[in-house]
Structure 1
Amino acid sequence: MNAARPRVRVHIVAIDDDHRMLLDRRPKSLTWSLPWAYLRMGEDPCRAARTLVHDTGATPSMARVHGVESAVEHGDHYLDLVYRCSAERVWKSSPVTSSALWWSLDEITSMELVSRAKSALVTTWPQVWPNI
């Protein structure tokens, strides 16, 4: 195991004003996950989380901490910061192209999700889809 400081990953649970959730497809496994990025030295994690939403062309609200996890994967230590925000669908072009897409609950229920995305869906469900 790498004894250096853990690498920090920032994930976002983003729900737009049509109650769609932002998910990104992992290229190797073809499963769906929360959009994420490595935190760079000196970077604000809240800003990094909002950027993941902004890169889709949506306007994100202020991101709030949703959860913090520690993980060891393939001998490396990671600290995962999970944020949550809403997004307004005032689509603007973005110079960055994102592979993340917005999905409705009906679409999500038939998708293969990684465990972090499943967990986020379960904890977010009562607030976003209270009548289902």
Structure 2
Amino acid sequence: MATPEFILELRKKVGHDLLWLTGITAVVLDDDERVLLVRRADTGRWSLPAGILEPGEQPALGLLREIEEETAVESEIVRLVSIEALPPSSYPNGDQVQFLDFCFRCRPIRGEARVNDDESLEVAWYSLDDLPELTDRELTYLANARKADEPPLFAR
């Protein structure tokens, strides 16, 4: 998984110190209520499509870019699911990060789900009754995304 150039440039200045970044996560549900998942190349775990916004990029547009880059599926945004500050974390090289994550519910428009970059090992549609292991956060996002009139989740 390639580190975006803007992060490499920031790391030259701040070293391994904590970087505050904007993350984006997608719950892509098709008409059969299947969810689009990717098996990440860096961890080998299944997850919702996600990424990092480029400087100046709008969250919804950046997420549509990420979905297509990772899965070859073109989508549209249905609604905001959540805005959440995730806990700080560290990468194996010592880089520290903390994400402000925007999660959106999306629906596919066109495209065949497949691995479309080097960030994913597999891409697949999963029935909600037969999901691989996901994080508690992702399961919460998925549950909230399925509720048509649910307001976005955020800390109160």
TM-score by length of 1: 0.74
1:120 maps to what in 2? Answer: 141
Does 1:31 pair with 2:52? Answer: no
Cα 1:16/1:3, change in 2 over 3 Å? same
Which secondary structure does the structure 2 equivalent of 1:8 belong to? strand
**2:125 & 2:112 partners in 1: Cα distance?**
15
Structure 2 counterpart of 1:69, one-letter code: E
Maintained 8 Å contact 1:31/1:114: no
Which secondary structure does the structure 2 equivalent of 1:17 belong to? coil
**1:68 & 1:104 partners in 2: Cα distance?**
25
Maintained 8 Å contact 1:11/1:81: yes
1:101 maps to what in 2? Answer: 124
Maintained 8 Å contact 2:28/2:36: yes
Cα 1:66/1:126, change in 2 over 3 Å? closer
Listed as ranges, the matches of 1:29-108 within 5 Å are 29-55=43-69, 56-71=71-86, 72-74=88-90, 75-88=96-109, 90-91=110-111, 97-98=116-117, 99=120, 100-108=123-131
Structure 2 counterpart of 1:64, one-letter code: R
Q: 1:54 offset after TM fit, Å?
A: 2.9
Which secondary structure does the structure 2 equivalent of 1:30 belong to? coil
Query: What is the percentage of aligned positions where both structures have the same residue?
Result: 28
The gaps in structure 1 that reach 5 residues or longer are 128-132
The gaps in structure 2 that reach 5 residues or longer are 1-15, 91-95, 149-156
Question: Over aligned residue pairs, what C-alpha RMSD do you find?
Answer: 2.7
TM-score by length of 2: 0.64
Q: 1:86 offset after TM fit, Å?
A: 1.3
Maintained 8 Å contact 1:2/1:77: no
Structure 1 counterpart of 2:135, one-letter code: V
Residues 88-115 of structure 1 deviation map (CA, whole Å, 9 limit, x = unaligned): 3x33699x8153322112321xx11122
Between the two proteins, the alignment pairs up a number of residues equal to 122
Instruction: State the structure with more CA Rg.
Output: 2
